[in-house]
Amino acid sequence: MTDLVRPLEPAPSPMPLFRSFPHAAIALLAAAAALYAPACAADPGREDRIVIASDPWCPYACNPDSDGADGYMVDLAREILGEAGLTLEYRVVNFQVLRRMAEDGSATLVPGVASDLYGTLVLPDRAQGNSPNAVAVSRLRPFRWTGPDSFAGHRLGVIRDYNYGGALQRYIDSHLSDPDRIEVLSGFGYSHVAQGLRLLEAGRIDLMLDDFNVLRWHLRRSPQLDGLQVVPLDDRADLFIGVAIRNPRAAELTRMLAEGTERLRRSGRLAAILARYGLSDWQNPL
């Protein structure tokens, strides 16, 4: 990614509060401050609260209202950072809002990323997941992946604004204006995936492109789509919980996530978290 985030401009120097106030006003303000102080002390420190935001992309980051769970990367981050006394606040947003939150730093963590999201994130030294891209396809329509040329003769459903990386993205970009090759899907959360699977089932597209675990999650929860299968593509990639580059604790948080992932792997907690979502450790698959 080549987009760079502009550094924050320095804040203006604050004007002295009591610079031209008479003594009576100073005393009144001091009394008010004393009354307000206990309320401030009772409020948890903002620096101890970490915002993690994502569009729904289960099993990495889910919609708890519909899935009954937050997603394994949210659970993983909560456990790792909780050990350091940090509180995680999870927000479900659409992808466009997510990109803005990563850029302006209002989201500290973004789960399920394979890159720095246009220069807005830094990634831990160790991955929090690994998965290939994949396509959902009818069981009655044989599909064998040998590279992007395998898409020839198929109508491929892709998600608006997603970057699938490498040769896949180059194929999409080169055929984006050809409706016989590319169908662009949009929506919030699961709606684009659900839309794509419905179009696939109806025969209006031939292939639906997304992450292997995401497609498998949806098909497992949709028995009416048992005529579809998931075919992995040969492009496995590490996935991370990215940290906003604007956050002053970015280096510390990425270190905590990397070391915490290995610590939970050794203790067996990582395997237990993954098992809740029907997954196994990508480094130690069952």
Topology of domain 133-232 in CATH is D-Maltodextrin-Binding Protein; domain 2 (3.40.190)
More confident residue, 164 or 121: 121
Higher pLDDT, 186 or 197: 197
CA distances from 15 to 9, 18, 26, 27, 177 (A): 18, 9, 15, 19, 56
DSSP H/E element including 78: helix 72-82
Q: How confident is the model at residue 248 (pLDDT cuts 50, 70, 90)?
A: very high
Average pLDDT over residues 60-83: 95
Whether the CA torsion 211, 213, 216, 217 is positive or negative: it is: negative
pLDDT band at 280 (very low <50, low <70, confident <90, very high): very high
Average pLDDT, the chain: 83
pLDDT score of 44: 35
| CA dist., res. 275 & res. 101, Å (int) | 30
Is the model's pLDDT at 1 over the cut of 60? no
- Categorize the per-residue pLDDT at 283 as very low, low, confident or very high, splitting at 50, 70 and 90: confident
pLDDT exceeds 50 at position 182:
yes
Going by pLDDT thresholds of 50, 70 and 90, the confidence category of residue 252 is very high
**Domain 46-129+237-275 sits in CATH 3.40.190.10:** yes
Nearest one of 54, 71, 78 to 189, comparing CA atoms: 54
pLDDT level of residue 156 (50, 70, 90 thresholds): very high
So where are the chain's domains?
A: 46-129+237-275, 133-232
**pLDDT score for 242:** 98
Q: How far is CA 40 from CA 17, 25, 30, 33, 109, in A?
A: 19, 22, 15, 10, 26
pTM exceeds 0.85, yes or no: no
CA-based end-to-end distance of the chain:
34
% of the chain beyond a pLDDT of 90: 69
Spatial distance between the Cα atoms of 284 and 87, rounded to a whole number of angstroms? 29
Contact 219, 228 (CB under 8 A): yes
Nearest residue to 195 via CA among 154, 223, 158, 152? 158
Q: Are 55 and 98 in contact (CB under 8 A)?
A: yes
Domains 46-129+237-275 and 133-232 share a fold: yes
Lowest mean pLDDT among 77-91, 181-195, 260-274: 181-195
CB 276 within 8 A of CB 69: yes
For every residue of 170-221, DSSP letters joined together read HHHHHHTT-TTTEEEE--STTHHHHHHHHHHHHTS-SEEEEEHHHHHHHHHT
- What is the enclosing helix (H) or strand (E) of 237? strand 237-244
- pLDDT digit string (tens) for 72-129? 999 999 999 999 999 999 999 988 899 999 999 999 999 999 999 889 999 999 999 9
